[in-house]
Structure 1
Amino acid sequence: MAGTLAVLALVVGGAVLSGVLEPAYDLSAVDEQDRALDVQLLARGKYLAQAGDCAACHTSADGAPFAGGVPIPTPFGTIYGTNITPDKDYGIGDWSSADFYKVLHDGIAPDHPLYPAMPYTSYRGLTRKDSDAIFAYLQSVEPAAVPNQKNGVPFPFNIRALMRGWNLLFLTDELPAVSTGDSDEWVRGRYLANVLGHCTECHTPRGLVGQMKLGESLGGGAAEAIHAPDITPSALAARGWTVEGLQRFLAKGIAPQGSAYGGMYDAFHHSTRHLADGDNKAVVRYLTGDMPVAAALLTPAAPADAQIVQAGRHHYQALCAGCHSASGQGKPNVTVALAGNSTVRNPDPHNLLQVVLHGLDQKDFPDNQGRQAMPGFAGALDDAGLADLVNYMRVQFGGQPSDVTASAVAAMR
């Protein structure tokens, strides 16, 4: 009987039982069999927390794990990820698993409603079993007595009660499927992508008050300087993504179609690279469907103005070919290939312009792979010259039209 009660306590994950808060996890207090069950639960909770990308918003670059402090820019002000360690003063040490589930399911913390920068709009679909496992894991990490930073949200958006009305209008139990399928793998992938991985939160356009436009789910989002691209099945195929390329991208962060950068690098680093092989394949199965669309072959576009493209080729040879090669094939552990690169093949030139203007940081990837820092060329060329450069790359390496204007470059500066 004692063993049964111990197992129940573990499964509930530190929840309130008969109104009494269970103590923090102490493996020395249970016998060997129960200790094995506890270790399994915590391992599962850790895996789910990684799949849910909790660290990206709750672990700052120089802070303790899950101690908060990560700035999350929104159109309504900057919101900071909170302390979710089991510290009783600043974290969630006094929460029950029911409190934690209510946060994930309803966006309501014990003392206030949350802003939807915390993706409870997607986590709402999380099973109670998975929620309890994540809570158990978070209760096992080292408590960090780190105060939460005050959000930089101006009036009237700083009135938390307004979020209850927002929830009534926009919080829904169903997120639309972006592909067709009914296999077990597709169903698992839909849960991982739509709910736990909350891909919709970044890759879906938003309305005037921050609500996701679910009718355009995964059609691309513009919340950050680097836009989250359209990752619907047809858009992925049009940019050259194959099932194998997507699986490699999620696992390694780098594939023939390009490497992770911007917010997607954080998602890769904290989350997708930790997915088990079966879950990796399930996510890709959902993104592409049970019957994936064949990746489109790359063919250079016919330039609208050959003179413009010729000028862009001159700039490319002077500024880019040394690292990316004249043919755009790139160099291993230096730069990615531009020929066939998903960003270059994107009909929307926004991210390509951002990278050319402002550059990219150095990043490391698994298997001793890397991408060296890339300088921005905002000071090397005027707006017309940068437009010519981008148009050349889009035509030659992306099969896109040469329709980027100097005014578009000026606006992005």
Structure 2
Amino acid sequence: MRARTRKRGWGILLAVVIVLGAGAVVLLSGLLDPHYETSDVDGPEGNDAQLLARGKYLAQAGDCMACHTTKDGPLYAGGVPIETPFGTIYGTNITPDKQHGIGEWTSADFYRALHDGLAPEHPLYPAMPYTTYRGISREDSDALYAYLRTVPPIAVPDKPTEVPFPFNMRFLMRGWNPLFLKDELPDVSQGESQQWLRGRYLTNSLGHCTECHTPRGVFGQLKLGSTFEGGELGELNSPDITPEGLARRGWTPEHLQRFLALGLSPLGSAYGDMYEAFHFSTRHLSQEDNQAMVAYLTGDQPQPPQALPEPPQEQEEAQAGLTTGRSVYLAVCAGCHAVNGEGKPGATVALKGNSTVRNADAHNLVHVILHGLEARSFPEGDRQSMPGFADELTDEQIARLANHLRTRWGGQKGDVQPGDVGALR
């Protein structure tokens, strides 16, 4: 079973309760926020083939399966655990089953859930990304609703949330929403073309990239002043995908297009939650939408990728204490990734210039060395996997290995300490 991990620091819990409670009191007193004033008019229903095909495409672009379909489970029957600092929340049944799914919902109900985070029965937690789905048009919401009405109804009850008091009081969300639910998200790139505008809609609304690639505050809210600058995803961290952050790690528009379509590029492969986003969503985008999303991420005038600096010479490595790391690499890594770090086509990614190796934040690199990567398949027949070395290498050896990779093929400082490795064990 897949577990979507969006863990954040708990912060000042008492302050959370006070602020959310205060907001709830305001709303329950009748001072309703205009966020909730949405249309109650139902949209078109029926089995028009074009409408349903569009709805299916939107479900893929919106990555609905990742949170609403368990591994080997019925389509959209829910049950995927989403880990949060406030407890575990499970993806719900969104099949048209009338008792356990959304079979009794109207298209207006469905739009309100996407737009305002309000289901007919109760407010939703923002583990369901209505904070970014809010930008989805009513027309697209209706098409998505029409498609979901055609999937097989599954009589599977929703798993109860495992959220302790006081966060299990859903009415608190009526205080959270007017504080943190925004009508528009800030743009991270500059553009005016129709392609850029389409990409903004795909990225900020349907694709809800902000949810994983933006840090969160103590109240679980998106820190929109740091949009796309990276965030925590449980065991892994999401990287900076601002135009500047992408350029620093060597990404070009062509690399990004290939990555979104195939999960692989010269800069590495999709792993962790990004593999699921690729597998269930981005690989299904049309070529036009793929290019539009990349146009938004990089801007109408993409920044040139930063070139890697020359790697240190052997004498410089010795002076910097990096020779041990090279010895560890040759002993346990070179057999798969090659002595020169160029990898093996169809089997292992290159480490030379790898986006994870080039990341200033060494968290993911150290975690992957420790714990490895689950075997994953890709459209062109590639199959990527990696064993972990937590049982074979000491904290000191892994720190030196990581520093060797970062300085030789990542253009980064060799500043990983054994304590950093121990913290991720």
- Same topology, TM > 0.5: yes
The one of 216, 227, 235 aligned to 1:225: 235
Counterpart for residue 402 of structure 2: 390
Counterpart for residue 245 of structure 2: 235
Number of matched pairs: 381
> C-alpha distance in 2, partners of 1:311/1:393?
12
- 1:380 CA displacement: 1.0
Counterpart for residue 153 of structure 2: 143
Code of the residue aligned with 1:178 in structure 2: it is: V
- 1:223 CA displacement: 2.9
> C-alpha distance in 1, partners of 2:402/2:118?
46
- 1:300 CA displacement: 4.1
Counterpart for residue 279 of structure 1: 289
Answering whether residue 420 of structure 2 is matched by residue 408 of structure 1, we say yes
Contact 2:317–2:323 (CA under 8 A) maintained in structure 1: no
Higher relative contact order (CA 8 A, sep 6+): 2
Structure 1, residues 338-374: CA drift from partner, whole Å, max 9, x if none? 0000000000001101100100011111122221x21
Contact 1:341–1:398 (CA under 8 A) maintained in structure 2: yes
Contact 1:179–1:286 (CA under 8 A) maintained in structure 2: yes
Answering whether residue 375 of structure 2 is matched by residue 362 of structure 1, we say yes
The one of 341, 346, 353 aligned to 1:340: 353
Contact 2:114–2:133 (CA under 8 A) maintained in structure 1: yes
The one of 261, 276, 281 aligned to 1:251: 261
Share of identical aligned residues, percent?
61
> C-alpha distance in 2, partners of 1:229/1:344?
12
- 1:333 CA displacement: 1.8
> Which structure 2 residue ranges, 5 or more long, are not aligned?
1-41
Structure 1 stretch 99-108 or stretch 361-370: which is displaced more? Answer: 361-370
Counterpart for residue 269 of structure 1: 279
> C-alpha distance in 1, partners of 2:177/2:75?
30
The one of 337, 344, 359 aligned to 1:331: 344
Counterpart for residue 77 of structure 1: 87
> C-alpha distance in 2, partners of 1:136/1:391?
52
Answering whether residue 366 of structure 2 is matched by residue 353 of structure 1, we say yes
Structure 1, residues 8-48: CA drift from partner, whole Å, max 9, x if none? xxx9343xxxxxxxxxx5x6xxxxxxxxxx01000000000
The one of 127, 132, 143 aligned to 2:142: 132
> C-alpha distance in 2, partners of 1:185/1:307?
47
- 1:379 CA displacement: 1.1
> C-alpha distance in 2, partners of 1:310/1:140?
61
Structure 1 stretch 379-388 or stretch 128-137: which is displaced more? Answer: 379-388
Code of the residue aligned with 2:324 in structure 1: it is: A
Answering whether residue 183 of structure 2 is matched by residue 196 of structure 1, we say no
TM-score (normalised: structure 2): 0.88
Code of the residue aligned with 2:241 in structure 1: it is: I
The one of 316, 321, 341 aligned to 1:308: 321
Counterpart for residue 77 of structure 2: 67
Structure 1, residues 247-279: CA drift from partner, whole Å, max 9, x if none? 000000000011000000000000000000000
Contact 2:395–2:421 (CA under 8 A) maintained in structure 1: yes
> C-alpha distance in 2, partners of 1:251/1:365?
10
- 1:99 CA displacement: 0.1
Structure 1 stretch 275-284 or stretch 223-232: which is displaced more? Answer: 223-232
Counterpart for residue 307 of structure 2: 297
Answering whether residue 117 of structure 2 is matched by residue 107 of structure 1, we say yes
> C-alpha distance in 2, partners of 1:182/1:383?
49
- 1:289 CA displacement: 0.3
The one of 162, 174, 182 aligned to 1:152: 162
> Which structure 1 residue ranges, 5 or more long, are not aligned?
1-10, 15-24, 28-37
SS at match of 1:222: strand
